[in-house]
C-alpha cells in the first residue's frame, strides 16, 4: 500500500496547487532560516550559525527571518521568500505531510534551498528530501583535521578559496542514498585522516575525495549543501563565511 510519504516523493509537478512562489526578479530578496531539530542530538552551533547567516544576509542586502516553527511551512507562510536555509537542522524537520508538501511546492516553483552540516540528518525517512539535499546522513569520522580539495574554483561558494586545497577541522560526514546528479564543489581527502574511525560495512559508495559540498538544480529550484560547519568558531571564520555567502546567493538565484 502506498504511504503518504512515498506519495509525496512521486507527486507530479502539476498536481500541486496553492503553492508558495518566490518573489519575482526585482523584489526584495528574503531568506528563511530554519533551525528545527526533532528528537535526538541538537548541535550547540545553531546560534553561531544563525548569527553568521544574519550578518551575511545583512551585508548582502537580504532580508533574513529565523524560525524553528514547522507550521510556517504553508503556501502563504513561505510566500515571498527567495530561499530556505536548513541551518543545522536534524531529525524530523516537520510534523505533518502538509508541511512537506509546502516545501515541495516552494522548490518546484523556483525557490532555493541551502543545507548546512547536520541538515542531511533531517527527514531521514523522506526520499524526496534526500534527493533535494543530496543524501541522508549515515556516519562521520571523529572530529579532526583533514585536507579538503576545491573541485570547482568557479562556483560562488568556492571561487574565493585561496588555493586548490586547505586544511580543516570538522566532522567528516558520509551520506547514504547519495544523489550522484549533484555537482561536487568540495571533496574531503580520506587518506589525510590521522584518526579515522571504522567506516560501517553498509557504506560502500565512498569515492576519494569524498563529496563534502555540492549544488544542483532540482525540480525547478536550486539546492546547495555543505557538510562543513560543526564548530562554533567556524561561523566566525572569514573563509567559511565566504563559502556560505556564495552558496546562499547561488541557491537564491542571486549569483551564477
Tell me the CATH number at 58.
3.40.50.880
Q: Per the domain annotation, does 4 fall within a domain?
A: no
Enumerate the β-bridge partners of residue 145. Answer: 169
What is the value of pTM for the model shown?
A: 0.90
Q: Per the domain annotation, does 2 fall within a domain?
A: no
pLDDT at 28: 63
Q: Which domain holds residue 135?
A: 26-251
Q: Per the domain annotation, does 47 fall within a domain?
A: yes
Q: Per the domain annotation, does 15 fall within a domain?
A: no
pLDDT at 187: 98
Q: Per the domain annotation, does 57 fall within a domain?
A: yes
Q: Per the domain annotation, does 8 fall within a domain?
A: no
- 29-63 residue pLDDT tens: 999 999 999 988 999 999 999 999 999 999 999 99
Q: Per the domain annotation, does 56 fall within a domain?
A: yes
Alpha-carbon gap, residue 126 to 123, rounded angstroms:
6
Q: Per the domain annotation, does 17 fall within a domain?
A: no
Q: String of b and e for 168-180 (b: at least 16 CB within 10 Å)?
A: bebbbbbbbebbe
Domain total of the chain: 1
Alpha-carbon gap, residue 256 to 247, rounded angstroms:
10
Residue 76 CB burial class (10 angstroms; 0-12, 13-18, ≥19)? exposed
pLDDT at 227: 98
Residues (pLDDT < 50) of the chain are: 1-26
pLDDT at 256: 85
pLDDT at 34: 98
Amino acid at each position: 500500500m502506498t504511504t503518504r510519504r512515498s506519495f509525496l516523493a512521486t507527486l507530479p509537478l502539476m498536481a500541486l496547487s496553492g503553492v508558495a512562489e518566490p518573489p519575482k526578479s526585482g523584489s526584495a530578496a528574503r531568506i528563511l532560516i530554519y533551525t528545527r531539530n526533532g528528537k535526538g542530538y541538537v548541535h550547540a552551533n545553531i546560534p553561531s550559525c544563525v548569527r553568521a547567516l544574519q550578518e551575511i544576509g545583512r551585508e548582502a542586502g537580504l532580508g533574513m527571518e529565523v524560525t524553528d516553527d514547522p507550521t510556517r511551512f504553508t503556501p502563504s507562510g513561505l510566500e515571498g521568500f527567495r530561499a530556505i536555509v536548513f541551518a543545522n537542522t536534524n531529525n524530523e524537520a516537520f510534523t505533518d505531510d502538509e508541511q512537506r508538501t509546502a516545501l515541495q511546492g516552494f522548490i518546484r516553483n523556483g525557490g532555493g534551498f541551502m543545507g548546512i552540516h547536520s541538515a542531511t540528518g533531517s527527514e531521514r525517512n523522506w526520499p524526496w528530501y534526500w534527493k533535494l539535499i543530496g543524501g541522508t546522513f549515515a556516519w562521520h569520522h571523529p572530529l579532526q583535521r583533514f585536507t579538503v580539495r576545491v573541485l570547482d574554483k568557479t562556483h560562488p561558494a568556492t571561487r574565493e578559496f585561496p588555493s586548490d586545497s586547505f586544511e580543516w577541522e570538522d566532522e567528516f560526514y558520509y551520506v547514504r542514498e547519495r544523489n550522484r546528479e549533484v555537482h561536487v564543489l568540495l571533496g574531503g581527502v580520506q587518506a589525510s585522516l590521522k584518526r579515522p574511525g571504522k567506516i560501517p560495512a553498509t557504506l560502500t559508495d565512498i569515492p576519494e575525495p569524498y563529496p563534502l559540498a555540492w549544488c544542483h538544480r532540482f525540480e525547478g529550484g536550486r539546492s546547495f549543501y555543505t557538510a562543513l560547519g560543526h564548530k562554533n568558531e567556524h561561523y566566525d571564520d572569514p573563509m567559511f563565511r565566504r563559502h556560505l555567502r556564495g552558496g546562499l546567493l547561488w541557491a537564491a538565484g542571486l549569483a551564477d
